[in-house]
C-alpha cells in the first residue's frame, strides 16, 4: 500500500513537538510492515535541509487569491529516514527558519496544501491513502473532493489524525478565495461558527479521523475548543490510536546524547552517572530527588502552575528535592521560572529554550518528570521518561491516563493525580519524595517501567487496518 503523510513537522527535519516525532517514526514502521510510506512537509530552512542532498521531483504553479505561486517538490536523496521525505518549496512563503508563528501562517499553510494536492494530481497513479496530520494539512481532504481541478483525486481514501485539537487554523470567510475553485454548495463543510475551520473541515471530509490516544478521543466530545458537538456527531468514524515511541532514537543503551549508556541490567549505576553530570552542569545536589519538566510553557501543559508549585514545594521541603526545567512559551511563565533561580540556588535551575540534547540528558538523569497537563492528546515525554527509568507524575488526562498507572494500584509504576491545581502537584511531589526514600521500591519501579513496550509496532499495525477498512 502507498501511504502519503502530509504534515507541518517531521523529526529530525523540523520539530516543535510530538507531531514531528510521530510523523518521523510512524512511516518508518509502516515501511517495515512492507508498505510504501512517504512524507511531505513544507521546506523549512532548518539544519537538516542544508546538511542533506535533495533532488527536484516536480515543479508546478497555482493561483491563490490574487496571487500566483510557483512551487517545487524536492526529495531527500539517500532515504536517510528510511522513508521518502519530500518538501514543498514556495519561494518567500515556506522557506523560513521557523515552522509556525508568522503573521501569514494562514496563507503559508493554504499554499502548502494546494501545492501538495496539485502535485498528487499530477501523478500518473493514485496513492492508496492520503493521511493528513493536524489543521495545517486538514483542508487536503476537502480539496481532493470539492476543488474542481482536483476532483479526480476524490476517490482516494483520506485519514485525518488530530495530534492537538486546541489549534484549528481558523480563517475568516474573506479568505475563502485561498481555496482553489471549489464547489460552493459545499460551503458547510468548511464552516464552523461562521469561520472557515480547517480542523473541523478535515473531520467532516476525511474518511476516518483518529486521535493519538483513546482517552483523548473521548475527551474531545466534551472538551474540544468549540468542536465538541462535531465530535459527537462524527463519533462513528473517529477512533483513538495510541502513539508509540521510536525505540531506536530513544534508547538509553545507545543514545549518543547522554553521558553514560545504560539498560535494565545497570539502571541504578547508569542513572546515577547521568544525574551526576546533570546536577554538576546545573548546580544541583545529586543526593536529592531530581524533578524535571520538559515542554512548551503553555496553559495546555499547565506550565503556569509550575512556578507556584515549585515555590511551595521548595518553601516547605527545601533540602529534600531539586528541580530542573527546560522549555519555552508564555513569556510570563518564562520569567517566573527564571526568577525562582535566585530564591533557591542549588535546588532549582531552568533553561528557557529548545534543546534536544539536553532533553535526552534530562530523561536519563532525572528521578521524576512532572506532567500536570490540562490537555494531553497523547504525550510522548512520559513514554520517553519511562524508557529511561524516570517516574512520570501526571494528571489523569488523555494519553497520560492511557499510559501511566499509579504505583498505588496493582502493577502500577507512576504517580497520577486528578486536578490541574498547585495543591495536587505539590501533594504528588510529596508522594514522590517518599517513594525516592524507599530505594527498593524505586528500583523495582524503574526496572518495570524500562521494560514497558511503548514501541510503534502495535499502533502502526492499527493504522494499516484502518486504511484497509476504507480502501
Minimum Å gap between C-beta 160 and ligand ADP is 17
Instruction: Characterise 389 by phi-psi region: left (phi > 0), alpha (psi -120 to 50), beta (else).
Output: left
Neighbouring residues of 363: CB distance < 8 A, sequence distance ≥ 6:
250, 292, 294, 369, 381, 384, 385, 387, 388, 390
Measured distance CA(92)–CA(151) in Å, rounded: 29
In angstroms, the CA 466 to CA 454 distance is: 20
Nearest to 195 by CA among 158, 159, 170: 170
Q: Is 326 in the site for ligand ADP (CB under 6 A)?
A: yes
Classify 258 as helix, strand or coil: coil
Stretch that binds ligand ADP, among 16-24, 45-53, 263-271, 314-322 (CB under 6 A): 16-24
When CB distances to ligand ADP are compared, the closest residue is 18
Q: 391 phi and psi, to 5 degrees?
A: -80, 125
Of 41-49, 305-313, 348-356, 449-457, the segment contacting ligand ADP by CB under 6 A is: 348-356
The DSSP secondary structure of 244-256, one letter per residue, reads -B-TTTS-TTT-T
Contact between 18 and ligand ADP (CB under 6 A)?
yes
Cell of 179: 481555496
Q: Applying CB under 6 A, which part among 153-161, 221-229, 323-331, 426-434 lies near ligand ADP?
A: 323-331
Q: How many residues bind ligand ADP (CB under 6 A)?
A: 18
Q: Does residue 359 belong to the site contacting ligand ADP (CB under 6 A)?
A: yes
Smallest distance, ligand ADP to C-beta of residue 363, A: 8
The Cα 471–Cα 463 span in angstroms is: 12
Minimum CB separation from ligand ADP for residue 149, in Å?
34
- Segment interacting with ligand ADP, rule: CB under 6 A, options 17-25, 141-149, 263-271, 447-455: 17-25
From the list 104, 285, 356, 457, which residue makes contact with ligand ADP (rule: CB under 6 A)?
356
Q: Least separation, in Å, of the C-beta of 41 and ligand ADP?
A: 16
For the segment 55-114, give every residue that binds ligand ADP (CB under 6 A).
none
Give the three-class secondary structure for 291.
strand
If one asks whether residue 230 binds ligand ADP (CB under 6 A), the answer comes out as no
- Rounded to an integer, what distance in angstroms lies between the CA atom of residue 363 and that of residue 419? 24
Residue 372 binding ligand ADP, by CB under 6 A? no
Q: At closest approach, how far in Å is the CB of 383 from ligand ADP? A: 8
Q: Which residues are near ligand ADP by CB under 6 A? A: 17-19, 21, 294-296, 326-328, 354-356, 359, 378-381
Amino acid at each position: 500500500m502507498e501511504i502519503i503523510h502530509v504534515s507541518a513537522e517531521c523529526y529530525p527535519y523540523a520539530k516543535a513537538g510530538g507531531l514531528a516525532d510521530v510523523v518521523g517514526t510512524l512511516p518508518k514502521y509502516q515501511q517495515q510492515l512492507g508498505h510504501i510510506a512517504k512524507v511531505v512537509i513544507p521546506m523549512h530552512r532548518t539544519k537538516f535541509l542544508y546538511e542533506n542532498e535533495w533532488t527536484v521531483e516536480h515543479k508546478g504553479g497555482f493561483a491563490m487569491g490574487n496571487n500566483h505561486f510557483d512551487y517545487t517538490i524536492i526529495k531527500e536523496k539517500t532515504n536517510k529516514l528510511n522513508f521518502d521525505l519530500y518538501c514543498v518549496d514556495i519561494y518567500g512563503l515556506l522557506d523560513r527558519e521557523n515552522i509556525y508563528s508568522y503573521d501569514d501562517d494562514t496563507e503559508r499553510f493554504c499554499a502548502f496544501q494546494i501545492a501538495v494536492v496539485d502535485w498528487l494530481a499530477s501523478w500518473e497513479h493514485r496513492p492508496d491513502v492520503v493521511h493528513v496530520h493536524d489543521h495545517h494539512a486538514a483542508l487536503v481532504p476537502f480539496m481532493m473532493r470539492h476543488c474542481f481541478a482536483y476532483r479526480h483525486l476524490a476517490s482516494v481514501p483520506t485519514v485525518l489524525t488530530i495530534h492537538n485539537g486546541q489549534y484549528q487554523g481558523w480563517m475568516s470567510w474573506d479568505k475563502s478565495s485561498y481555496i482553489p475553485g471549489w464547489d460552493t454548495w459545499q460551503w458547510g463543510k468548511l464552516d464552523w461558527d461562521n469561520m472557515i475551520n480547517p480542523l473541523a473541515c478535515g473531520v467532516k471530509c476525511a474518511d476516518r479521523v483518529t486521535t493519538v490516544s483513546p482517552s483523548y478521543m473521548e475527551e474531545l466530545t466534551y472538551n474540544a475548543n468549540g468542536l465538541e458537538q462535531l465530535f459527537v456527531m462524527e463519533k462513528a468514524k473517529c477512533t483513538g490510536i495510541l502513539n508509540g515511541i521510536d525505540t531506536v532514537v530513544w534508547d538509553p543503551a545507545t543514545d549518543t546524547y547522554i553521558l553514560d549508556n545504560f539498560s535494565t541490567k545497570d539502571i541504578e549505576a547508569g542513572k546515577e552517572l547521568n544525574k551526576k553530570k546533570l546536577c554538576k552542569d546545573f548546580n544541583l545536589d545529586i543526593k536529592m530527588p531530581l524533578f524535571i519538566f520538559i515542554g512548551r510553557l503553555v496553559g495546555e501543559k499547565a506550565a503556569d502552575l509550575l512556578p507556584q508549585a515549585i515555590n511551595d514545594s521548595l518553601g516547605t521541603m527545601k533540602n529534600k528535592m531539586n528541580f530542573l526545567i527546560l522549555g519555552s512559551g508564555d513569556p510570563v511563565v518564562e520569567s517566573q521560572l527564571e526568577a525562582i533561580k535566585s530564591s533557591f540556588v542549588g535546588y532549582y535551575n531552568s533553561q528557557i529554550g529548545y534543546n534536544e540534547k539536553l532533553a535526552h540528558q534530562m530523561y536519563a538523569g532525572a528521578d521524576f518528570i512532572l506532567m500536570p497537563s490540562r490537555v494531553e492528546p497523547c504525550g510522548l515525554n512520559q513514554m520517553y521518561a519511562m524508557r529511561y527509568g524516570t517516574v512520570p507524575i501526571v494528571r489523569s488526562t488523555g494519553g497520560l491516563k492511557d499510559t501511566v498507572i499509579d504505583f498505588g494500584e496493582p502493577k502500577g509504576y507512576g504517580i497520577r493525580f486528578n486536578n490541574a491545581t498547585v495543591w495536587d502537584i505539590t501533594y504528588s511531589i510529596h508522594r514522590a519524595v517518599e517513594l525516592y526514600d524507599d530505594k527498593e521500591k524505586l528500583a523495582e519501579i524503574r526496572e518495570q517501567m524500562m521494560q514497558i513496550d511503548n514501541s510503534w509496532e502495535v499502533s502502526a499495525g492499527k493504522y494499516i487496518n484502518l486504511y484497509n477498512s476504507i480502501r
